[in-house]
Amino acid sequence: MHLPMTPAQFAATLDSTNLRLDATEGDIEALCREAVAANFACVMIYPTSVPLAARVLAGSNMRIGTVVGFPSGRFTTESKAAEIDAMAKAGAHEVDIVMDYAALRAGHGAAVGAELKELTKIAHGNGQLIKVITENCFLTEAQMLEALRLCEDAGADFIKTSTGFGTAGAKKEQIALWAGNRRGGIRLKAAGGIKTLADALALLEAGASRLGASSAGALLAEYKGGPAAKASGAY
């Protein structure tokens, strides 16, 4: 298999994720320590785990990411804003916010865009990077492109395919659609169902620059020539 980058470069594309409903404190600590050793892009965890991760990662350069409005996006703008601010105080450097994709599907794009602009302003004011999750398994191609425009207009750093809790995860065709229709520099994150190294490489080739994976350590080990990765969950 032709490898397009060094192992270190590949590791830097991975958001090492544990959003399992049964995750323990020990699981989060292990995730954090593995991420430091591998030099992943960030750890991606639930909000209540952020203070623990901040303690474990103190003194390292590892970034902490968390989810907001997860997994449905059907929360008030005020509650999402409060969570962004609370996570900044707790130590989160990155927030993956679920777009109210139900409202987008219902034709309320202007309202969705207004919310994204407000939340992006708050996150950037905190120095946080913002990724907007659109849950593409529930969107038509036209809606995926509308979501891209709304994220671009809001100034979001990334647009992201999936929560990992929908009916399907990332598809290379979705990433390619966004990559071919970007107007500027918004980056693309693929997440959900990245089970093999071949999946990961296909998504990167299509245009993703971040991958959310619950098996980041196994994917990196396979990239270095180890045994095939076995994903631990839907994410």
List per-block mean pLDDT (blocks of 10 residues) for the chain, which spans 235 residues: 86 98 98 98 98 98 98 98 98 98 98 98 98 98 98 98 96 98 97 95 97 97 81 56
d(C-alpha 235, C-alpha 232), whole Å: 8
Task: Domains for the chain: give ranges and CATH numbers.
Answer: 12-223 (3.20.20.70)
Q: Which residues contact 49 (CB under 8 A, 6 or more apart)?
A: 18, 23, 25, 28, 66
Q: Cβ distance 226 to 197 under 8 Å?
A: no
- Cα separation, 131 vs 108, whole angstroms: 20
pTM of the full structure: 0.95
pLDDT at 3: 78
Q: Which residues are catalytic?
A: 96, 160, 189
Residue 212: closest CA among 227, 200, 221: 200
CB 35 within 8 A of CB 8: no
Q: Give the span between the Cα atoms of 205 and 66, in whole angstroms.
A: 26
Instruction: Annotate 16-51 with DSSP letters as a single string.
Output: EEE--TT--HHHHHHHHHHHHHHT-SEEEE-GGGHH
Would you state the pLDDT for residue 226? 75
pLDDT at res. 92: 98
Q: CA-CA distance, 115 to 132, in Å (whole number)? A: 11
The number of residues in the chain equals 235
Q: What angle do CA 231, 234, 216 make, to 5 degrees?
A: 40
